Structure 1
Amino acid sequence: MLNISSSKAAILVPIANPETATHLVSTAIDLAIDRDLRIELLTVIRVPEQLPLAAGKRLIDTEQDVLNDATELVQDHDIEVTGRIRFARSVASGILTTIDEYDIELTLLGWRGRPRRRDIVLGSHLDQILKNATCDVLVERIDESRKLDSILLPVAGGPNTKLAATVAGALARVHAAELHVVTIRSPTNTSREQKKAEEMQTRIIGNFTGVSVIKQDIIEHPSVTDILIDQSTNYDLMVLGAASSTLFKRSLVGSLPEHVGRESQCPVIITKRYQNARSLMARTVSQTRNRLPLFR
Structure 2
Amino acid sequence: MSNSTSQGSILVPIANPETADHLVSTAADVASDTGRPLDLLTVITVPDQVPLSEGERLVDNEREILDYAAEMVTDQAIEVTCRIRFARSIASGILSIAEQRDIETILMGWRGRPRRRDIILGSHLDQVLRKAPCDVLVKRMDGDGGLHRILLPVAGGPNTELAASVAGSLARVHDAEIHVIIVNSPKETTTEREEKEQVLAKVIAGFTEVPVITQEIIESDSISKTIVDQSNNVDLSVLGATSEDLFRRSVIGSLPEQVGRQSTSSVLMVKAYQDLPSRLVRLTSRIRRSKPITHLRNKLGR
Report TM bin, short chain.
over 0.9
Q: Identify which range, 248-257 or 175-184, moves more after superposition.
A: 248-257
Distance in 2, matches of 1:9 and 1:74, equals: 18
Contact 2:129 2:251 in 1 (8 A): yes
Report the 3-state secondary structure (helix = DSSP H, G, I; strand = E; otherwise coil) of the residue aligned with 2:227: helix
Distance in 2, matches of 1:219 and 1:86, equals: 47
In structure 2, the residue matched to 1:156 is: 155
In structure 2, the residue matched to 1:60 is: 59
Q: Identify which range, 74-83 or 281-290, moves more after superposition.
A: 281-290
Report the 3-state secondary structure (helix = DSSP H, G, I; strand = E; otherwise coil) of the residue aligned with 1:75: coil
Contact 1:153 1:238 in 2 (8 A): yes
In structure 2, the residue matched to 1:3 is: none
Q: Structure 2 vs 1, CA of residues 250 and 134 (structure 1 numbering), >3 Å: closer, same or farther?
A: farther
Q: Counterparts in 2 of 1:161-176, with a 5 A limit?
A: 161-176=160-175
In structure 1, the residue matched to 2:71 is: 72
TM-score between the two structures when normalised by the length of structure 2: 0.92
Contact 2:243 2:251 in 1 (8 A): no
**Cα offsets for 1:32-71 (capped at 9, x unmatched):** 0111100000000011111222443233241111000111
In structure 2, the residue matched to 1:16 is: 15
Contact 1:177 1:211 in 2 (8 A): yes
TM-score between the two structures when normalised by the length of structure 1: 0.94
Q: Counterparts in 2 of 1:203-282, with a 5 A limit?
A: 203-249=202-248, 251-282=250-281
Contact 2:32 2:77 in 1 (8 A): no
Q: Counterparts in 2 of 1:5-44, with a 5 A limit?
A: 8-44=7-43
Residues 1:95 and 2:116 aligned together: no
Distance in 2, matches of 1:85 and 1:179, equals: 37
* 1:292 to partner: Cα distance: 3.4
Report the 3-state secondary structure (helix = DSSP H, G, I; strand = E; otherwise coil) of the residue aligned with 1:293: helix
Q: Identify which range, 83-92 or 45-54, moves more after superposition.
A: 45-54
Tell me the amino acid that sits aligned with residue 11 of structure 1.
Answer: I
Distance in 2, matches of 1:149 and 1:163, equals: 20
RMSD, matched Cα? 1.6
Distance in 2, matches of 1:282 and 1:238, equals: 30
Give identity over the alignment, percent. 57
In structure 1, the residue matched to 2:300 is: none
Distance in 1, matches of 2:228 and 2:58, equals: 41
Where structure 2 has 5 or more consecutive residues not aligned to the other structure, the ranges are 1-5, 296-302
In structure 2, the residue matched to 1:197 is: 196
In structure 2, the residue matched to 1:4 is: none
Distance in 2, matches of 1:279 and 1:189, equals: 27
Report the 3-state secondary structure (helix = DSSP H, G, I; strand = E; otherwise coil) of the residue aligned with 1:157: coil
* 1:187 to partner: Cα distance: 1.9
Contact 2:120 2:250 in 1 (8 A): no
Distance in 2, matches of 1:169 and 1:200, equals: 16
Where structure 1 has 5 or more consecutive residues not aligned to the other structure, the ranges are 1-6
Contact 1:225 1:260 in 2 (8 A): yes
Tell me the amino acid that sits aligned with residue 195 of structure 2.
Answer: K
* 1:250 to partner: Cα distance: 6.1
Report the 3-state secondary structure (helix = DSSP H, G, I; strand = E; otherwise coil) of the residue aligned with 1:167: helix
Q: How many residues align?
A: 289
Report the 3-state secondary structure (helix = DSSP H, G, I; strand = E; otherwise coil) of the residue aligned with 1:22: helix
Distance in 1, matches of 2:8 and 2:179, equals: 28
Tell me the amino acid that sits aligned with residue 85 of structure 2.
Answer: R
Distance in 1, matches of 2:52 and 2:191, equals: 59
Contact 1:247 1:277 in 2 (8 A): no
Distance in 1, matches of 2:46 and 2:285, equals: 45
Distance in 2, matches of 1:77 and 1:234, equals: 30
Q: Identify which range, 7-16 or 96-105, moves more after superposition.
A: 7-16
Distance in 1, matches of 2:118 and 2:82, equals: 33
